Structure 1
């Protein structure tokens, strides 16, 4: 039976990312011009940060576009995993940016850099407005889409950076105390790092085909025979996610001789969908002694593999 893996939110995600690219890229150009006219190294450095964000948004947009391609003979699940790959790359990029910010902050604490507070305040204020608009565009999109979340985290980093720059500019104008700039940058970097690590961990878990949160294979092995009298035991259980919210499962179920195989299959599918939210299931039915390689549990199978 053919399965439709299309994502109805793909058009909306792609549109939101497109507008985010236009706004972020457009302000990046304005920031470069402002940095050159004012001679502000801080603004030029922030423009470089926004360049990486524009590239990250472009990657997310490209992934959203590619993921809408229909499934074919070579890729029966379609291209949805491209979004997860983009989210993983964006997460790693954010961690690299955090490392650079921390390094630059330490360097500036050791050797303070002169910053023009007034110019910094104006550009940072404009940047805050642009970043708030872009973040709102992405935040109210598909919140289960890791690709959108990764792009939003990049913009959130810029937004927090703009707030920090405004505070730093006000402090510099009032007190001429330059270390406030790198100190606030460290605070922003640590806030970004927490979210970046979570994004990288979640997308990496999906790429490694780990079991989705809240669904435990051992629970299925125990509860399916408890709920369905026709089922003797369940083994070879594998649960993974195509994308967040799109979970898949395959399993073997042993039943007694004489049981209605079709009715049991329907009952297992209904239980998986209604109780665990697993609507895409591949189920192999066997008689109690039919599967020669079936251990009582997957743990026993793993122990046997370790001994060999």
Structure 2
């Protein structure tokens, strides 16, 4: 007979990566929006495309953080019979939207830069430099706020990477302003805007790749299936294991399931409980996976099981 067991019978939405760091995201959102307003004003006054590109990038960051916060709120809605995992995947969809917005911003920047080739307008470097320095300081503060949390959530990591890119973008704008101030080479502004676009694309790609891994239910990074199999086989009474599945519901919520073949003698009530307790303890302590589901199968029934996966 089959036997199902789960160490944790539900996943609390409050345990998701984004929800745990909501205050950090709100702080970064406020800082980012304030700088966006200043940089847009500075770009309009100075005529700097690089500064406008940096402002556009930061605006996309603000949009991404806003989406993440709304998604975290949606993810807190309880599970139902129709949505047994609740709405926690909303966080992953928010990260997907964030990545796509970054790609669109990069395309717009490059298109405008191409349009300006050969006819770069004169830039007011004093306004451009002041706004860029202010943006760099704000981005540095935001990085420090997010640094400790960016490993726990796709959305927080996305925000962290975006702010890091913003900081590099601010440095590019500062460098362009200095070049124009010293040499009068106005095209430096256009070059800086293209560099900002090139910095956006790899970060968007990495975030998009991580989101796709979650949506395709790929094995979480750093998890060794063979090592998990070895630990399961080391439990007394276990003969073999098959149909191992490891995936991620959302950031910080890994899930594990497997069919475990045990000796017939271990299928008594006390024996099954002992095996299950050891399996759950093993997965929780060695692989930081609390949400585990095991189906126990006696050796005499194993031949009736169709092995579908690892």
Residues 256 and 205 of structure 1: CA distance in aligned 2, closer, same or farther (over 3 Å)? same
* Residue pair 1:235, 1:295 contacting (<8 A) in 2 also: no
Stretches of structure 2 that go unaligned for 5 or more consecutive residues are: 1-7
- Tell me, in whole angstroms, the C-alpha distance in 2 between the residues paired with 1:244 and 1:50: 24
Matched, 1:128 2:132: no
* Residue pair 1:233, 1:296 contacting (<8 A) in 2 also: no
Q: Which residue of structure 1 aligns with residue 120 of structure 2?
A: 112
* Residue pair 2:103, 2:204 contacting (<8 A) in 1 also: yes
Residues 67 and 108 of structure 1: CA distance in aligned 2, closer, same or farther (over 3 Å)? same
Which of 268, 277, 280 is residue 266 of structure 1 equivalent to?
277
Query: TM-score, normalising length from structure 1?
Result: 0.84
Q: Which residue of structure 2 aligns with residue 282 of structure 1?
A: 293
Q: Which residue of structure 2 aligns with residue 85 of structure 1?
A: 93
**Superposed counterparts of 1:9-20, under 5 Å:** 13-20=21-28
Aligned length, in residue pairs: 297
- Tell me, in whole angstroms, the C-alpha distance in 2 between the residues paired with 1:16 and 1:278: 26
Which of 58, 70, 74 is residue 66 of structure 2 equivalent to?
58
Residues 110 and 235 of structure 1: CA distance in aligned 2, closer, same or farther (over 3 Å)? farther
- Tell me, in whole angstroms, the C-alpha distance in 2 between the residues paired with 1:208 and 1:261: 33
- Tell me, in whole angstroms, the C-alpha distance in 2 between the residues paired with 1:228 and 1:268: 7
Q: 1:12 Cα deviation (Å)?
A: 5.2
User: Any idea what the Cα deviations from partners look like across 1:192-231, whole Å, max 9, x if unmatched?
Assistant: 3333222211121012111112324444445522x13412
**Superposed counterparts of 1:196-211, under 5 Å:** 196-211=204-219
Q: Which residue of structure 2 aligns with residue 232 of structure 1?
A: 239
Q: 1:163 Cα deviation (Å)?
A: 1.1
Q: 1:41 Cα deviation (Å)?
A: 5.1
Which of 148, 151, 154 is residue 156 of structure 2 equivalent to?
148
- Tell me, in whole angstroms, the C-alpha distance in 1 between the residues paired with 2:231 and 2:21: 38
Stretches of structure 1 that go unaligned for 5 or more consecutive residues are: 300-308
Query: TM-score, normalising length from structure 2?
Result: 0.83
* Residue pair 1:255, 1:288 contacting (<8 A) in 2 also: yes
Residues 92 and 45 of structure 1: CA distance in aligned 2, closer, same or farther (over 3 Å)? closer
- Provide the secondary structure at the position in 2 that maps to 1:71: coil
Deviates more, 1:154-163 or 1:179-188: 179-188
**Superposed counterparts of 1:180-199, under 5 Å:** 180-199=188-207
Q: 1:251 Cα deviation (Å)?
A: 0.9
* Residue pair 2:125, 2:180 contacting (<8 A) in 1 also: yes
* Residue pair 1:255, 1:285 contacting (<8 A) in 2 also: yes
Deviates more, 1:91-100 or 1:164-173: 91-100
**Superposed counterparts of 1:28-39, under 5 Å:** 28-36=36-44, 38=45
Q: Which residue of structure 1 aligns with residue 305 of structure 2?
A: 294
- Tell me, in whole angstroms, the C-alpha distance in 2 between the residues paired with 1:127 and 1:84: 28
Which of 234, 238, 254 is residue 261 of structure 2 equivalent to?
254
Which of 9, 27, 34 is residue 2 of structure 1 equivalent to?
9
Deviation >6 Å, runs of 4+: none
- Tell me, in whole angstroms, the C-alpha distance in 1 between the residues paired with 2:222 and 2:63: 34
Deviates more, 1:153-162 or 1:107-116: 107-116
- Tell me, in whole angstroms, the C-alpha distance in 1 between the residues paired with 2:42 and 2:196: 23
Q: CA RMSD in A?
A: 2.7
